[in-house]
Amino acid sequence: MPTLHFKQTTSATPEQFIAGLTDFGAGRADLFENSTDGYLKVHDQGPGEADVTEGSAGIWERLHYDWSDPNRVVLTTTDSNAWADGPSHTYTFTRNSDGVTGLTPEAFSDQIEDALENPVDFKSLLQEMLARRSEVVTYRIESEDGPPHARSFVAVADVRCEQIGRGSGRTKKQAEQEAASAALDQMDESD
């Protein structure tokens, strides 16, 4: 499997970058939008490692963070409802003489490949979550706008005739997916 490499620079020192990446306190979503406080759980944390569950919108993953090497942080997925176990992300730091830090994130393709083969289906996630509560979601197209070649749709997700999510998209399917995603977000906030 190929590994994807990216290069980026930052004015932050490696220590500052690691401090931000490994701050598992309230408000983490301010830095990482896919890590809402409702999903955040620190199972164990030591001086150079942590075992953390994080996620949002019905998707979560448990990660082992290892920052014992001051020039590298490795995040390994140990459990998830969306990803296969084992994939990891590695952030490698290069201290440049001009004060800029080189940052090379590496992401293994099996996680990306899994996501491409099994894209997130918010409608299915919502249906499964509601089924546990013996509830059923229905979708309706509330409006459609624009010429035939550039339509936009607004969909609403309802449970027991009450709106629980609303979304828009260029297709009906995309609008329904967005409505389901909004419903999952709303449910996260109320839990």
User: Residue 4 pLDDT more than 70?
Assistant: no
**What is the structure's pLDDT at 167?**
95
* 11 and 100 in a common domain: yes
* 143 and 106 in a common domain: no
pLDDT (tens digit per residue) in 141-180: 999 998 877 889 999 999 999 999 999 998 888 899 999 9
From 64, 86, 117, give the residue that closes a domain: 117
At 157, list the tokens.
């997700």
Single-letter residue type at 187? M
Boundaries of domain holding 183: 122-190
* 139 and 81 in a common domain: no
**What is the structure's pLDDT at 2?**
46
CATH code for position 37 = 3.30.530.20
| Number of separate domains in the chain | 2
* 22 and 74 in a common domain: yes
pLDDT (tens digit per residue) in 76-106: 888 888 776 566 788 888 888 888 888 777 6
